[in-house]
Amino acid sequence: MAEAPILIVDDDESIRQTVSEILEVEGYRVCAAANGEEALERVAETRPALVLLDMRMPVLDGWGFARVLRERGIRLPILVMTAAQNARGWAEEIGADGYVAKPFDLDDLLSQIERLRIAN
pLDDT of residue 1: 39
pTM for the full predicted model: 0.92
Residue 120: exposure state from Cβ atoms within 10 A (0-12, 13-18, ≥19): exposed
- How confident is the model over 76-101, as a mean pLDDT? 90
Q: Which DSSP string do the residues of 78-94 spell out, in sequence order? A: EEEEE-STTHHHHHHHT
Q: Sort strands 78-82 and 50-53 into parallel, antiparallel or unpaired.
A: parallel
pLDDT in tens, 6-64: 999 999 999 999 999 999 999 999 999 999 999 999 999 999 999 999 999 999 999 99
Whole-number average pLDDT of the chain:
92
Closest CA relative to residue 5, chosen from 35, 37, 31: 31
pLDDT higher than 90, residue 82: no
8-state DSSP, 73:
T
Q: Which domains does the chain have, with CATH numbers?
A: 6-119 (3.40.50.2300)
Handedness of CA 9, 119, 88, 75 (dihedral sign): positive
